[in-house]
Structure 1
Amino acid sequence: MSSSQSDQPNLLTQRRFLPFFITQTLGAFNDNVFKNALVILVTFGIVGLSPDQVNLYVNLAAGIFILPFFLFSATCGQFAEKYEKSQLIRYTKILELGIMVVAVIGLYLKSVPLLMGLLFLLGTQATMFGPVKYSILPQHLRENELIAGNAWVESATFLAILLGTLLGGFLITLDGGWMMVSAAVLIVAIAGYLASRGIPDAPATAPDLKINWNLFSETWRNFKFMRGNRTVFLSVLGISWFWFYGATFLSQLPNYAKLYLGGDEHVVTVLLTVFSLGIGVGSFLCERLSGHKVEIGLVPLGSIGLTLFGIDIYFAAPHLAVLQDQTVTHFINNISNHRVLFDLLMIGISGGLYIVPLYALIQTRSEASHRSRIIAGNNILNALFMVVSALLAVVLLKMGLTIPQLLLTTAVLNALVALFIYSLVPEFLMRLLVWVLVNTMYRIKTKGLENIPDEGPAVVICNHVSFVDALILGGSIRRPVRFVMYHKIFKIPVLSFIFRNAKAIPIAPAKEDPAMMERAFNEIARELAEGNVVGIFPEGAITHDGQMDTFRSGIERVIQRTPVPVVPLALRGLWGSIFSRRDTFLKRMRLPRRVWSRIELVAGPAVPASEVTAVLLEEKVRALRGDAI
């Protein structure tokens, strides 16, 4: 749905991304080396702790790390708006280094209170980094690079969590393990700080902001910011739900692997690895499928996968395993376990498809002056949802549910949550339908779409070749477009759902329905006054022979009433496809002339309102179209 992959720079070769990417990846890695080393040390390495004390400390560790997100996210979000972000990141890395220096003492002394206090500080450091982590990307990356940037960040984060967990658990069990862990966390912290020094400046987005130190009122203010933009708010809820879903599945994997798959502790590692690899694959698949733009149509596709494969995990292994303590080799050789591995891989892939566009949507749809605070609010909700997931799991398991039944319940809840969100914001489902249509019927290449302004009112015009021209344009243009279309096309079954939810404007000729025509012009003026993009097909009808018809004067009336720039577009290659009028409807349905056609969408420079005439716009569209039909 966009220009070729080669048009995109490799972000890992760009200074505006690579140092940040290394910094955040090493940070996630180091957090988990320390956390898991602490858990293993408390569980197996400290003499004199009773089983009850071990359980208390292990569960307390998870809560202590999350607690700062509730206490400090609102304040840290303000810091990320008020101050230059690259310097803030360096401060957080210095704090991490200081924590790890003291951690050496804590590991040597095996002092649980000191280590727990350090874990709290590490959670605080992560809380400080969170709002900067996602709000700095839109300042350093172009909009068509945000999906790729988020894909790298999400996949690397999950992989870093996995590798850090494995390394921390492995090192602490060795002779002199505390020294190994100490050396590891110090080296990684130093490397993270050195990488952070290469991050380019990211100027403050609200330098005059007055810090509100009241965490309760500021948290509430963050939520009000989010609620002001319904799509952003529901995207935040969608991300938080993903963390609920993921926390439920990941927390149950060890016991699920032991009791229902009959595997040993190494089988748990295999399951976590498959899930993490799935997240990475899904993240990059999202970048590939989205055509380098924020394609929220992939979000419903991801949620469908989370539900279907989450349900299938229940049916893959609903009963206790007959054999216990199987090695990885025995586990993999048992072909019945391949279904579980496939389900976990697909859950990870679906998660990548689901979460990457949501993060990119928040970054692009939030005001720059409030973006960090919105992300801080998102972090608070994420932490809250993970806590709720743990509490709900405890309650449901106490009520008698088995682990597979808990996973099944979570997958079904995912479907209900998805339906709720998509019913409130039909744009997600609408974009999915458009994405499926455009990517199954056509292969599209775009050029010049940067001529459409990123903000403010504008009109886009285009030649009219098929019944799905509006869908192709709407699926390719990065901003929502309010299309003006003939009322009978507007009412076509199925397509009508998309057109209505895209807020298309039905119109009729004056001789058919003068009242409808007048309403349409009033609606166009209102949309432009609100700063939106309006799409018009000035020919007034779909071509019957593949050639362009004369542009009608309605476009002049629109611009005279509301002077805005007009961007000419041209569709190439659609004539003869299944939705064009080259053949009769029955003939097209019996034998489609072209499926998965190669088509192009080309945009020219905007025409100022003072120069707009129907004749001039027609000339420009004809020139853009060229000889292709």
Structure 2
Amino acid sequence: MEEHNQSSLLKSKRFLPFFCTQFLGAFNDNIFKNTLMLLIAFSATTALGMESNVVMNLAAGLFILPFFLFSAIAGQVADKYEKSSIIRKVKLAEIVIMLLAAVCFITESYSLLLLLLFVMGTQSTFFGPVKYAILPQHLRNDELVGGNALVEMGTFVAILLGTIGAGILMGFEGTKELTACAVIVVAITGYLASRKIPVAESADPTLKLDFNIFRMTGQVLKYAREDRAVFLSIMAISWFWFLGASYLTQFPNFAKTVLQGDSSVVTMLLALFSIGIGVGSMLCERLSGHKVEIGIVPIGSLGLTLFGIDLYCSIPSYYVDEPLTWLEFIAHSDNLRVLIDLIGIGIFGGFFIVPLYAYIQKNSKPEQRAQIIAANNIMNALFMVASAIAGILLLGVLDLSIPEFFLVIALMNLVIAVYVYSQVTEFAFRFVVWILSHSMYRVTHKNLDVIPDEGPAVIVCNHVSFVDALLIAGAVRRPIRFVMDYQIFKSPLLGPIFRLAKAIPIAPRHKDEQVYLQAFETISNELENGQLVCIFPEGKLTKTGEMNEFRGGVEIILERNSVEVVTLALQGLWGSFFSHKDGPAFANLPKRFWSKVNIVGGRKWTAEEATAAALEANVKELRGDNP
């Protein structure tokens, strides 16, 4: 994998016009929303006749509500029609909406501006499914995480620039007139960029549109629930947007009433939060090794909770007579911890959300992908509306302070994370694999493209240590069912990990015939379902560093399922804490950390030519003199 893959997308005609289009759309949304929010927070509440906290949460709810109402129809449209033409139509609608918004800003029609938030939310609703469904059509699998990272980074940089732009506009006497001009110019520029987006053919041109909102909402949610891991990924993303909306909506009043700052402090808080998410998103591709790696999602959720709790604990106790500017705010050393917490929440939010989006795109059926993304948008909308309601109830009815509100949602995040990872064990397993392959070992690999991207195959490999399967799982993009000695499941350390991985236990026939027969039955079922199965034909770990003779289990498998066989070899694991060098594994404290391990791909074998002896010879050649 080329290291420049992520940045090179910004030079590609497959991606750059789309990136610019979505960036400008997010930027325009935030110029409009943030200017309106600041006007409400600092000068317009009397005109609306409502308390500031209520108006803030009402505005957030009005923007999000259309995602809940119209996402199902938007998903159908995105699956039925060519996607670049949909984007251009959506961008034309943005120009019309912004023209109306310009008039309302100039005439100070704040009630109508709140209504236009709903209209603008509707326009964004139809962009949402296309935005994420188009990426797998224009990008390769090994570009998907990088593409999503750039989209999320671009979105939050747009939020940052829109936030700063709104703050700058608030500093001029002609705020309303300047905002009116800005939103029109950006809308037109976004439309011009959309005209360069390459064609993305219809996923299902035979799809019949159904405009019954309630029926189609139920239908797209049904599609999403067909794959439990995908659905829980959607729920996790939606929870992130609950958190994000909760933070972003409360920042103006948090800055004003708790931190005692002026509008420039609001801008700074939003900017730091956005920078954090942008940085976290961009780090995802490097941390994931250019593949869809959900193992870093639990790291993201843990960071969100820890920094969220610390934000509550870091509230300064000073009092000032006049609101602080952002320069005066950062001059107080007590405030540094608040700023670090906000950046940390953003960074770990990026770790959390980018792999989940890529996972949904990769694992959704192509003909239903936009509708499943629409289901994601529906759930996102539901959770963000819930965040607005939670803000009104907790802050307005129960009279919690904003820091107490932040503490509550940080603790809720921990509870929800534990639930999701207990329901989808793949997340927890991939987390363990990621930690192992980024702490004790530096795993490199060569020629793993020999493993087929889809369809059944048997992988055979030498067996050096108790973590062979975990390291292979971390290097290969596809899920693998590993066949492991049944005794390993009794280990208090490794047993739970291999149960998370849904490894297949096997025993020698003379020791437990039922386990032996059930293993081959399970292997056959997995191959019939198009899965990868990895076996270690030696049957036991090496005690000398030399390979043991391959047993005939692979031939038994191929007699029942005539599938391809792929050879792999592990190099560099002999002598590690998990190997039998100088005595039983685990007998001594680890002596090697960050040691280099290489996984080498060999070749594909047909079922007819794949004998145990031939496979053994090939793996020995691949391994060479580096056990």
Within 5 A, what are the aligned runs for 1:148-547?
Answer: 148-171=146-169, 174-317=172-315, 321=319, 325-397=323-395, 398-547=397-546
Q: CA RMSD in A?
A: 2.4
Structure 1 residues 60 and 333: alpha-carbon distance in aligned structure 2, compared to 1, 3 A threshold:
closer
Within 5 A, what are the aligned runs for 1:1-20?
Answer: 3=1, 5-6=3-4, 10-20=8-18
Q: Name the CA distance, whole Å, in 2 between partners of 1:443 and 1:162.
A: 36
- 1:482-531, CA deviations, whole angstroms, 9 ceiling, x for partnerless residues? 11111122322221111012111111112222222111111111111222
In structure 2, the residue corresponding to 1:205 is in which secondary structure?
coil
- 1:243-276, CA deviations, whole angstroms, 9 ceiling, x for partnerless residues? 1112222222233333333333222222222111
Bigger shift: 411-420 or 90-99? 90-99
**Alpha-carbon shift at residue 582 of structure 1 (Å):** 1.7
Contact 2:237 2:356 in 1 (8 A): yes
Contact 1:305 1:350 in 2 (8 A): yes
Q: Name the CA distance, whole Å, in 1 between partners of 2:339 and 2:367.
A: 44
Q: Name the CA distance, whole Å, in 2 between partners of 1:240 and 1:421.
A: 12
2:541 is aligned with what amino acid?
I
Structure 1 residues 268 and 171: alpha-carbon distance in aligned structure 2, compared to 1, 3 A threshold:
closer
**Alpha-carbon shift at residue 204 of structure 1 (Å):** 1.1
Bigger shift: 162-171 or 580-589? 580-589
Partner of 1:554: 553
**Alpha-carbon shift at residue 60 of structure 1 (Å):** 4.7
Structure 1 residues 185 and 147: alpha-carbon distance in aligned structure 2, compared to 1, 3 A threshold:
same
Q: Name the CA distance, whole Å, in 1 between partners of 2:52 and 2:491.
A: 64
In structure 2, the residue corresponding to 1:571 is in which secondary structure?
strand
In structure 2, the residue corresponding to 1:49 is in which secondary structure?
helix
- 1:197-216, CA deviations, whole angstroms, 9 ceiling, x for partnerless residues? 22222111111111111110
Contact 1:482 1:533 in 2 (8 A): yes
**Alpha-carbon shift at residue 172 of structure 1 (Å):** 5.9
Give the TM-score, by structure 2 length: 0.94
In structure 2, the residue corresponding to 1:589 is in which secondary structure?
coil
In structure 2, the residue corresponding to 1:370 is in which secondary structure?
helix
- 1:69-111, CA deviations, whole angstroms, 9 ceiling, x for partnerless residues? 1221100100110111112111111221232334444444444
Contact 2:136 2:144 in 1 (8 A): yes
Bigger shift: 216-225 or 273-282? 273-282
**Alpha-carbon shift at residue 222 of structure 1 (Å):** 0.9
Structure 1 residues 122 and 7: alpha-carbon distance in aligned structure 2, compared to 1, 3 A threshold:
closer
Contact 2:458 2:534 in 1 (8 A): yes
Structure 1 residues 281 and 309: alpha-carbon distance in aligned structure 2, compared to 1, 3 A threshold:
same
2:64 is aligned with what amino acid?
I
Bigger shift: 250-259 or 157-166? 250-259
Unaligned stretches of 5+ residues in structure 1:
none
Contact 2:56 2:249 in 1 (8 A): no
Q: Name the CA distance, whole Å, in 2 between partners of 1:59 and 1:586.
A: 58
Partner of 2:608: 610
**Alpha-carbon shift at residue 169 of structure 1 (Å):** 4.7
Contact 1:297 1:428 in 2 (8 A): yes
Partner of 1:143: 141
**Alpha-carbon shift at residue 29 of structure 1 (Å):** 0.3
Structure 1 residues 509 and 559: alpha-carbon distance in aligned structure 2, compared to 1, 3 A threshold:
same
**Alpha-carbon shift at residue 585 of structure 1 (Å):** 3.9
Give the TM-score, by structure 1 length: 0.94
Bigger shift: 519-528 or 181-190? 181-190
Structure 1 residues 318 and 53: alpha-carbon distance in aligned structure 2, compared to 1, 3 A threshold:
closer
Structure 1 residues 98 and 259: alpha-carbon distance in aligned structure 2, compared to 1, 3 A threshold:
closer
Contact 1:144 1:293 in 2 (8 A): yes
In structure 1, the residue corresponding to 2:605 is in which secondary structure?
coil
Q: Name the CA distance, whole Å, in 1 between partners of 2:132 and 2:381.
A: 16
Q: Name the CA distance, whole Å, in 2 between partners of 1:351 and 1:624.
A: 41
2:123 is aligned with what amino acid?
Q
Unaligned stretches of 5+ residues in structure 2:
none
In structure 1, the residue corresponding to 2:502 is in which secondary structure?
coil
**Alpha-carbon shift at residue 554 of structure 1 (Å):** 0.8
1:616 is aligned with what amino acid?
A
Structure 1 residues 220 and 170: alpha-carbon distance in aligned structure 2, compared to 1, 3 A threshold:
same
Bigger shift: 82-91 or 545-554? 545-554
**Alpha-carbon shift at residue 21 of structure 1 (Å):** 0.8
Contact 1:130 1:376 in 2 (8 A): yes
**Alpha-carbon shift at residue 542 of structure 1 (Å):** 1.3
Contact 1:463 1:539 in 2 (8 A): yes
1:335 is aligned with what amino acid?
S
Structure 1 residues 109 and 262: alpha-carbon distance in aligned structure 2, compared to 1, 3 A threshold:
closer
In structure 1, the residue corresponding to 2:570 is in which secondary structure?
strand
In structure 1, the residue corresponding to 2:154 is in which secondary structure?
helix
Partner of 1:91: 89
Q: Name the CA distance, whole Å, in 1 between partners of 2:614 and 2:4.
A: 34
**Alpha-carbon shift at residue 4 of structure 1 (Å):** 5.7
Structure 1 residues 124 and 47: alpha-carbon distance in aligned structure 2, compared to 1, 3 A threshold:
closer
Structure 1 residues 22 and 487: alpha-carbon distance in aligned structure 2, compared to 1, 3 A threshold:
same
Q: Name the CA distance, whole Å, in 2 between partners of 1:311 and 1:379.
A: 28
**Alpha-carbon shift at residue 620 of structure 1 (Å):** 2.5
In structure 1, the residue corresponding to 2:445 is in which secondary structure?
strand
Q: Name the CA distance, whole Å, in 2 between partners of 1:445 and 1:421.
A: 31
- 1:597-623, CA deviations, whole angstroms, 9 ceiling, x for partnerless residues? 111112233222232211222233223
Q: Name the CA distance, whole Å, in 2 between partners of 1:473 and 1:385.
A: 37
In structure 2, the residue corresponding to 1:606 is in which secondary structure?
strand
Q: Tell me the matched-pair count.
A: 626
In structure 2, the residue corresponding to 1:611 is in which secondary structure?
coil
Q: Name the CA distance, whole Å, in 2 between partners of 1:44 and 1:412.
A: 31
Structure 1 residues 110 and 271: alpha-carbon distance in aligned structure 2, compared to 1, 3 A threshold:
closer
Partner of 1:578: 577
1:238 is aligned with what amino acid?
A
Partner of 1:589: 588
